[in-house]
Structure 1
């Protein structure tokens, strides 16, 4: 198979196919993010770093926020501008980005969803990301992230024991993927090999990628070193957990968190996060600087 496979990222190269493979018709990821931003009284200016197809950035804009979406993929950005217009979309590498390339003044929140943060494979990458976030945020601004949980793989192998086989139909073509995950312990990476096939005779496409296996205490340490205070760090509920996060009472509108709200704590009742870090997703809310 490897000899005939073409080495490229089928989903990143084809954003419409990405959305078909990972549908989110209820916009749970963006709604979970909006719930977090409202609970902590975040201001309206948001950077969605690693925005992908732009569907989350566009939904956040419908809540009244001013949103910039940034990604390193030109194909994703072009798709976002056409199919999820509204935010400003800019090319930027999350491992090191600069506020002056994105907006004229700092953001009230930086959002990084769907394990995009874990493309920081090295400590230098992670320091670059957190330093960039710090410089892009106004004092008291939030960092909100959702990702795979490195601690899940401590003694657990159910995602590693056998390849995962998935299939779905898009525009009349059936796509089948075989995904193999392996742990690269020296590099602290979760490596993924995915081979795509279709029934139309197209040669197989091989995709290789990797995520950093970040552990909760390690992440706390790195955040503290860059001046962040962790407000939440838990395994759910979230937009990609089972069961998935569901909204509770409607959060306050942007800028109207309520008379009893304070910048240092939640503004409303909302669904309570879990208190553990055992699941395969990790959810982070951190605040930078004074506020």
Structure 2
């Protein structure tokens, strides 16, 4: 699957902002881990700038990278409305070509799970490594594969409010243990019209992740169970990784 074919969930950037824009735990940790100024920061899979903007507000030179043009346009509008000078670029994170290295690269929102194959993950780490200054850090998160949750197909419904309108969503999630990919489908209806979208997400196991980080020349300084620095355990929902380039 091409990366461009796995972006249906982001078709409406404004709705995405409305649904996820209020999450701040990752922003708080990242702001706490910022290097001394002046420094460059790269925000990968930056979306609508939820993390790029607060970093820039703190006086850093920020480059936001994403593959989705619509998300980038919304990020540019938001930055412009605040007078923030942020460079937003449409690039594939596996093949970054940025003008200068950074002291910190971040990737939040479980975007790491968009890299579906071992080759994709390797290319991402190689790309990040090329764009870090010596001793620079890479902070990212990914969902922890809790087998009790993934073992059986999941089907559930919920009602969410989008644009002041109630929308009923029907979700179906099926995990393939061979590819380690969760295939998710959502059917939405507001009573007048209906739509469907899908996304595929790769799960990486804790020891697998440790080896991946190490083989690309990084030291895994911390692995938290959530963005609030909770202790990582087998039942943790996430792995939040703080890695340093060795």
TM-score (norm 1): 0.75
- 1:22-76 Cα offsets, whole Å, 9 max, x none, are 2416x332122112335xx696211000001112110111122111110000000
Matched, 1:177 2:169: yes
Counterpart contact for 2:155–2:173, Cα < 8 Å: yes
Q: Which residue of 1 aligns with 2:62?
A: 67
CA distance in 2, matches of 1:275, 1:115: 16
1:10–1:117 CA distance, 2 compared to 1 (3 A): closer
CA distance in 2, matches of 1:205, 1:97: 33
Runs of 5+ consecutive residues of structure 1 not aligned to the other structure:
1-6, 239-244, 246-271
1:285–1:43 CA distance, 2 compared to 1 (3 A): farther
1:10–1:183 CA distance, 2 compared to 1 (3 A): closer
Q: Which residue of 2 aligns with 1:220?
A: 210
In the TM superposition, structure 1's runs of 4+ consecutive aligned residues that sit over 4 Å from their partners are 7-11, 158-161
SS of 2:231's partner is coil
1:118–1:10 CA distance, 2 compared to 1 (3 A): closer
Alignment of 1:140-289 (within 5 A): 140-150=135-145, 152-153=146-147, 156-157=148-149, 160=152, 162-199=154-191, 201-202=192-193, 204-236=194-226, 238=227, 245=228, 273-289=230-246
Q: Which residue of 2 aligns with 1:91?
A: 90
Q: Which residue of 2 aligns with 1:36?
A: 33
SS of 2:138's partner is strand
SS of 2:10's partner is helix
Q: Which residue of 1 aligns with 2:46?
A: 51
Which structure has more strand as a fraction of its residues?
Answer: 2
Runs of 5+ consecutive residues of structure 2 not aligned to the other structure:
none
- 1:185-207 Cα offsets, whole Å, 9 max, x none, are 121111111111112x12x2111
TM-superposed CA distance for 1:166, in Å, is 2.4
Q: Decide which of 116, 120, 141 is 2:115's aligned counterpart.
A: 120
SS of 1:220's partner is helix
CA distance in 2, matches of 1:160, 1:81: 41
Counterpart contact for 1:44–1:64, Cα < 8 Å: no
CA distance in 1, matches of 2:120, 2:27: 25
TM-superposed CA distance for 1:181, in Å, is 1.4
CA distance in 1, matches of 2:235, 2:59: 35
Q: Which residue of 1 aligns with 2:12?
A: 14
1:215–1:280 CA distance, 2 compared to 1 (3 A): same
CA distance in 2, matches of 1:49, 1:64: 19
Cα RMSD for the two superposed structures:
2.2
Counterpart contact for 1:149–1:280, Cα < 8 Å: yes
Name which one, 1 or 2, has greater alpha-carbon Rg. 1
Q: How many residues align?
A: 238
TM-superposed CA distance for 1:213, in Å, is 0.8
- 1:135-169 Cα offsets, whole Å, 9 max, x none, are 0100100000022112x22xx12795642322222
TM-superposed CA distance for 1:278, in Å, is 2.5
CA distance in 2, matches of 1:128, 1:8: 18
